[in-house]
Amino acid sequence: MIEIIVKNSKLITLPRIDDGIDGSISAAENFNHIPFAVKRVYYIYNLINQKAIRGKHAHKKLEQALFCINGACEIGLDDGTLHQEITLDTPNTGIYLGVELWHTMKNFSNNCILLVLASDVYKKDDYIRDYDEFKKYIDLRRRRRVRGGNGNQ
């Protein structure tokens, strides 16, 4: 059993209904299995280059849930203090990827399909693509929280 130690993340286990040799079904519902309302679905596939490293960014407001629905890949999570690598290789086990988490996706099997459920439409301004900028951003948010603000200014 994987244990998530970084902030703003947790494992999501979807129900799995098995129909024997006729296959299996897993379903995800807003605010039940997924802790937000899904506004966008996208998937990453055609991972011919197994050395590909994707992600390398954090989001300011976007929440996501990642499921490797075919094959396998490794997700790196970094909250600015703790770092961990998680292998996703089970279609009904995913990761909740909350705000302010630097993440990478790598070690893709060539049949990997990574399904992502997102809390908002694509917004370029929500990305932090520089690691030093990410560290400064989360330090500032932390200082604001300590001073008693909600960190949203």
Q: Which residues bind ligand T46 (CB under 6 A)?
A: 40, 42, 44, 54-55, 64, 116, 122
Is 129 or 145 the residue whose CB approaches ligand T46 more closely? 129
Q: Is 57 a catalytic residue?
A: yes
Q: Which of 107, 67, 109 is nearest to 88 (CA)?
A: 67
CB of 42 to ligand T46, least distance (A): 5
- C-beta of 50: minimal distance to ligand T46 in Å? 15
Q: Which is nearer to ligand T46, 37 or 122 (CB)?
A: 122
Contacts of 50 (CB under 8 A, 6+ apart): 107, 108, 109, 110
Closer residue to ligand T46 (CB): 111 or 122: 122
Are 63 and 119 in contact by the 8 Å Cβ rule? The answer is yes
Which residues, in sequence order, are CB contacts of 23 under 8 Å at separation 6+? none
CB 140 within 8 A of CB 147: no
Q: Which of 33, 57, 83, 103 is catalytic?
A: 57
Q: In whole angstroms, how close is the CB of 36 to ligand T46 at the nearest point?
A: 14
Active site positions, annotated: 57
